[in-house]
Amino acid sequence: MRKSAKVNQVILIILDDVRAEHLFNLMREGKLPNITQIAEHGIICESCVTSFPSVTLPCYADIITGSNSGYYPKEGSGVPNYHWLNRTDPPSEKKKPPFIRNYSKRRGIFKINKDIGSNVKTIFEQAGDGNFLSATSFLYRGSTFTTSKEFKAELILKRIEDIYNNPGEIFADKEIPKISVGYIPHTDHLMHERGFDHPDYINLVLDCDKYIGSLIKTLKDTETYKDTAICITSDHGNYKAQKVYDLEPFFQEKGLRPYDPKIGAGDFDANLGGVGFLNFKGDTWQHHPTINQMKNFKPSGTGSSSLDLFKTLSEIPGVKLMYYGDDNNTPEKGIIYLERRDDKSGKLLKGRIEYYGIGKNQKTRYSFESEDLFSYVKYEEANALLDNKFHTIDEWVGATSQIDFINIIDQLPRHFKNPRSCDIIISTVGEYCFNYEHGKTKGSSLYSHDIALKKSMTVPLIIGGSPKIPILELNYCKTTDIVPTLLELLGFKPDQSVVGKSVLDYD
Footprint of Zn ion (CB under 5 A): 16-17, 56, 188, 235
Torsion of CA 246, 252, 258, 262, to 10 degrees: 120
Task: Let me know: does 428 contact 320? Beta carbons within 8 Å.
Answer: yes
CB of 193 to Zn ion, least distance (A): 13
**CB closer to Zn ion, 122 vs 187:** 187
Q: Which of 127, 181, 147 is nearest to 13 (CA)?
A: 181
Count of Cβ atoms closer than 10 Å to residue 477 Cβ:
24
**CB closer to Zn ion, 178 vs 449:** 449
85 strand-pairing partners = 100
> What is the DSSP secondary-structure string of 91-128?
PP--SSPPPEEETTSTTGGGGHHHHT-SSS--TGGGS-
Count of Cβ atoms closer than 10 Å to residue 449 Cβ:
30
Q: Which of 396, 406, 402 is nearest to 453 (CA)?
A: 406
CB of 289 to Zn ion, least distance (A): 30
What is the C-alpha separation between 21 and 18, in angstroms, rounded? 9
**CB closer to Zn ion, 235 vs 495:** 235
Q: Which of 148, 132, 23, 120 is nearest to 63 (CA)?
A: 120
CB of 46 to Zn ion, least distance (A): 19
**CB closer to Zn ion, 7 vs 433:** 433
CB of 328 to Zn ion, least distance (A): 35
Asked, as a colleague might, if the bond just before 90 is cis with ω within 30 of 0, I would say yes
CB of 188 to Zn ion, least distance (A): 5
Task: Let me know: does 196 contact 20? Beta carbons within 8 Å.
Answer: no
**CB closer to Zn ion, 189 vs 350:** 189
- The residue with its CB nearest to Zn ion is 56
CB of 61 to Zn ion, least distance (A): 11
What is the C-alpha separation between 19 and 2, in angstroms, rounded? 35
**CB closer to Zn ion, 186 vs 360:** 186
CB of 144 to Zn ion, least distance (A): 23
What is the C-alpha separation between 395 and 78, in angstroms, rounded? 23
CB of 466 to Zn ion, least distance (A): 28
**CB closer to Zn ion, 44 vs 59:** 59
Give the amino acid at 243. Answer: K
Task: Let me know: does 9 contact 180? Beta carbons within 8 Å.
Answer: yes
**CB closer to Zn ion, 56 vs 68:** 56
Radius of gyration of the chain (CA): 22
CB of 184 to Zn ion, least distance (A): 10
Percentage helix, strand, coil, to 5, in the chain? 30, 20, 50
276 strand-pairing partners = 272, 426
CB of 185 to Zn ion, least distance (A): 7
Task: Let me know: does 75 contact 418? Beta carbons within 8 Å.
Answer: no
**CB closer to Zn ion, 382 vs 483:** 483
**CB closer to Zn ion, 17 vs 410:** 17
**CB closer to Zn ion, 294 vs 459:** 459
Q: Which of 43, 42, 41, 61 is nearest to 51 (CA)?
A: 61
What is the C-alpha separation between 337 and 267, in angstroms, rounded? 23
- Give the Cα-Cα-Cα angle 68, 506, 491 (nearest 5 degrees): 75
CB of 235 to Zn ion, least distance (A): 4
